[in-house]
Chain A
Amino acid sequence: MNSSSFGACNGKDHFSRRFFLRSTALTGLGWLTPLSQQLARGAEKSGGRPKSIIVLWMQGGASQLETFDPHPDSAISHGAKAIKTALPGVQFGEGLEQTAELANDFSVLRSVVSKEGDHARATYNGKTGYRPFPGLVHPAIGSIITHELPAPTHNGAPVDIPTHISITPGQFPARGGYLGAKYDAFQVYDPVNPVPDVKAWTDEARTGRRMESLSVLEKSFAAGRIATLEKERTLHQSSIERARNMMTSDLLAAFNVKEAPKAEQESFGDTRFGRGCLAAIRLVESGVRCVEVTLNGWDTHINNHEGQLKQKSELDPALASLIKGLKERDLYDDTLILVATEFGRTPKLNVTEGRDHWPHGFSVLMGGGGLRTGQVIGETDPTGISQDPAEKVRVEDIHATILNRMGIDHEYEFMTSIGRPIALSDGRPISALL
């Protein structure tokens, strides 16, 4: 194990020959060096691949009809209004004005389908690209990326804060699954509050005494036990060391959005989600690989239009400011963004004027990271009857596209602990985006 960088996203053990061969083949680099540090830096610079990904997760099921796929002239709109976007002939739902102006900066996928209509299962499907399978937990996309890419650096030094982070995670934070708990997303709540558990309860002198006592205990535990217990199994003391590095890391400041200029803070909206998006930019700027920010509350079985409007009032300023902020910092090509949800909502209104779950054609937005933008992919039936949208995109295809763009072989088969090889993704990359 590499003790010089944060464990959750430790890249050295995965900076394998396979990765090396692949990255050199991709970039045409012929040189060889045994120093992983140099390799890592070489890979960071190479080939214009994105370095990070930001996933905005719309928990509950955002309605495609009120967000990115309105049908204002059809009965299925049930009165919901649409607005123009920067793309001629393309409309978004009312309430997404700021995002609509930036429609050239991303692609809209309007024909996403899945086979899961239950929140827990569909979220799993959306985050991992696989349907739930007993006896095995698949890793979330962010876990795969942190596992596959080398440990990131910031100004030449290893990033000593977690490099896979979930902000306001809700019920289903991204998990490492079969890659191991160390690839789980590190969970933080509203960035207005301090990062949980990084502040010691005692002063330095007392902490020092505690650590001394700890070494007395560790010495007696090690006596007579398997010699490689710490190094190959528990990693207990090395985790403590790395946790202590993190507690004093300068990069922790990235979480503290209150340090950002006031005007910038305000542009994201005074919401947990807005602050989460601002923190996401600052974290990516600090070298973090993957940030997931959750916006909960999209499950509008009652009063759909009103509920979706409220959600959009939080999403719109945050998403638009996120894109602008990344561009201003010249990070947009280095950062892939994905706005996704577990499923869409039914074209029919139910008796309580709500929309129910609809996995048969919903919208996802992808941009940055050098993806092709300014286009709409797929089309749903304006009458809301067909469950078979044109240019269908399966959830797993989105995963394959992201991995492909990040320079990761999505077909690579990982040998899982249950002795079954599983491809990182069994989708097909969407060629229109690459």
Chain B
Amino acid sequence: MTSQFSRILIRLGALLVLVIAAIITLTWYLGSEDLAPLPSAEASDSLKESTARLNAAFETSWKALELESAPQALDHTIARRLSLALTGAAPSLEELRRFEKLAEGGDPTQSWLNHLFADQRYTNYVAERFARAFVGVGPGPFIIYRRRRMVNWLSEQLAMNRPYDELVSDLIASEGTWTTNPETNFITVSVIQDGDNKGPDEVKLAARTSRAFLGISLDCVQCHDDKFGDRWKQEDFHELAAFYGQADMTISGVREKSEKNYETAYKGKKDPSVVEPGVPFSEELKPEDGSRRKQLAEWITNGNNRAFARATVNRAWALLFGRPLVDPVDDIPLEGPYPAGFETLTDEFVKSGHDFRYLLRLIAASAPFQRASDSGNPDKPVTVEQEAAWAAFPVTPLRPEQVAGSIIQSASFRALDGDAHIIDKLRRFGETNDFVKRYGDQGENEFQEESGTIPQRLLLMNGKLVGERTGENPVMNSSTRVAHYSSSEKQAVDAAFLALLTRLPTPEESDHFAASLEKKNPKAKARASADLYWALINSTEFSWNR
């Protein structure tokens, strides 16, 4: 029903876009010299100090391993990584042009982050990534679960840079209805609708809580004690679950009901027994008073609960690098050992008052994030050891929506941001969903690194999205426009490389493609330009973060 509706809208929209885009193209292109530079920013003093402490930790470890670090990455490369991680698409040509005009002396990374943080694409995209960890991707129970509302709520919290500890507290202790208090969807997504045991499912909630907020996979001991070590007992999991034991579904939404109890039958016992809530470690941090979920929320987000801060640091790191610092992202050892930099990052995050943007700024400023993924010397390439120690930026697969987002973005010069026309956004939404389904979405397993697959290659070589976005269409596609309006073949090639790969071509690449564009017949030229776009989209570099 909704998808049908949006398809009709998209079709109608396409007509309108023809007209609008024609006007935009002309006016924008004529006015491109007047693009304002991005405002230039400096790193704050505290950020500079945090960065120095963090980098010292990495430098020490590289020295101990006798590893050289890869060279500094280009500003364009840093911008690409940040846009992919925080908006789900490569930067637009227009944004890059403004970035290039940045005043001397400013900090490019922090200026670019300012630009992104002010953009709705950041809040919407990161909210979706959070939601995957908090509530998963499934449709969930009928009526009482509204995922879209939950994502919007997260997006609002990100827009005001709500301290992360407060955001998480709201989720855990939320009360009210799934529509007016969207954070309660964290609870309602677990509700069992069939059978006699109606109401929020304590087991599912405890599993989510331990993975998403504590970075420990306590749910592995749901049915029996830890088989691989003596760390966790079955009781640890169920006592955590008992904190959700009084959450109840009522006419006025999610409420605490003090008569309710959580029961389970432990291994080897036939009958279930009542389980009292208890935390699996750091008991001294648990408050004595308040509802069960409030107590749990306070214990988790307590500044001295290192597991909470570590889990957040590891997730933010994975968001920016495509690979967590400790793998898997939600299974961090409670007592270490930790890789270089991890404890420093945790300290700095707690000190900042659980400021999520500060954490992103710090990771982006860190020496590992600023490294190139190549050595700059073909005779002495980056090694696996360098990459493992974060002395070179890791090459990781992009997620399907990042690939789709980049294809759609690259077809237009302007950023498809919060200001972009509603029809552009609708089109993007429809195209992205269809593409993501065929490309293969990993769902909640966000950071499982996979090789390319054949359906992915087929989709990028022959799929509708790529065919239409790169085809000869002067109104819709920049591939055709670039060919027509650029003053030289070389300039057209430069623009295509920037729009697709966020870098300028090497001399060899420039010669190859400029020669291919040397056509008198405008149609032949448009075809050659489409071929250029196709090749860029089908390169390894387009689908992998570097």
Query: B-contacting residues of A (Cβ < 8 Å)?
Result: 6-8, 117-118, 120, 133-137, 162, 180-182, 184, 186-187, 196-202, 206, 209-210, 213-214, 216-221, 223-230, 233-237, 239-240, 242-243, 246-247, 356-357, 359, 417-420
Contact = CB atoms under 8 A, between A and B. Distances in A.
A199 B456 contact: no
Contacts of A137: 443-445
A137 B455 CA distance: 20
A169 B423 CA distance: 29
Contacts of A7: 453-454
B532 to A, nearest CB: 7
Nearest to B138: A120
Given A206-B531, A226-B381, A243 B458 contact: yes
Contacts, number: 186
Contacts of A184: 440, 453, 455
Contact of B457 (A186, A201, A239, A359): A239
Contact of A181 (B450, B536, B543): B450
Contact of B374 (A186, A197, A224): A224
A180 B451 CA distance: 9
Contacts of A8: 453-455
Nearest to A122: B194
Interface size range of chain B in the complex:
35 or more
B538 A182 contact: no
Nearest to B384: A226
B139 interface: yes
A211 B531 CA distance: 10
B257 interface: no
A134 B208 contact: yes
A90 B546 CA distance: 63
A240 B532 CA distance: 17
A227 B381 contact: yes
Contacts of B532: 213
Nearest to A121: B138
Contact of B540 (A118, A199, A210, A218): A218
Interface string B504-546: 0010110011001000000000010001101110111101101
A200 B459 CA distance: 10
B193 interface: yes
Given A118-B193, A213-B532, A216-B508, A197 B538 contact: no
Given A213-B531, A214-B539, A243-B454, A224 B461 contact: no
9 contacts: A181-B440, A182-B453, A199-B462, A213-B512, A213-B532, A217-B541, A240-B461, A417-B328, A418-B331
B438 to A, nearest CB: 7
A237 B540 contact: yes
B211 interface: yes
Nearest to B531: A210
A419 B227 CA distance: 12
Given A187-B438, A198-B458, A182 B450 contact: yes
Interface string B358-391: 0000000000000001111110111110010000
Given A135-B330, A181-B442, A217 B539 contact: yes
Contact of A236 (B440, B467, B543): B543
B458 A217 contact: no
A359 B512 CA distance: 63
B195 interface: yes
Nearest to B193: A118
Given A206-B531, A220-B508, A239-B453, A246 B458 contact: yes
Interface in B47-101: none
B301 interface: no
